[in-house]
Amino acid sequence: MNKLLLFLLVLSVFIACKKSEPTPAGSSVNGVLHYDYLVGKLGVYYETDSNKIMLLENKYANDSLLYDQYKLYVNINTTMYYNDHGDTACYAGNTTICGLPVVEVLQFVIR
């Protein structure tokens, strides 16, 4: 009986001290990842809850591969963890918007 009690005590300590998943270093923002096909060009961008548009750093040959990497998070409320290196670019959709921040995505977390 004492061994069982000791086992349950040790087990409860491990459960109580379970480490949560660490958050990545960098900044975070809440919003929605969008994917638009406009004017013959694929568009992947992040719109924050405060209506700020952020472009994702694209290390791929085209936007289709960028979309494939993040398609599980499109049109879902997420928290995006990112690094901002101060780069800006233009978003070419129905209208061209320049001066948008380009961020390196570290992780998306569904809210």
Question: How far, in Å, CA of 9 to CA of 97, rounded?
Answer: 59
> How many other C-beta atoms can be found within 10 angstroms of the C-beta atom of residue 51?
7
> What pLDDT is attached to residue 22?
63
- pLDDT tens-place string over residues 35-50: 887 654 557 899 999 9
Average pLDDT value for the chain: 83
Domains (range + CATH), the chain: 24-110 (2.40.50)
Split at pLDDT 50, 70, 90, the class of 33 is very high
> What pLDDT is attached to residue 70?
95
Split at pLDDT 50, 70, 90, the class of 17 is low
pTM across the whole model: 0.75
* Cα–Cα nearest to 46, from 79, 87, 23, 84: 79
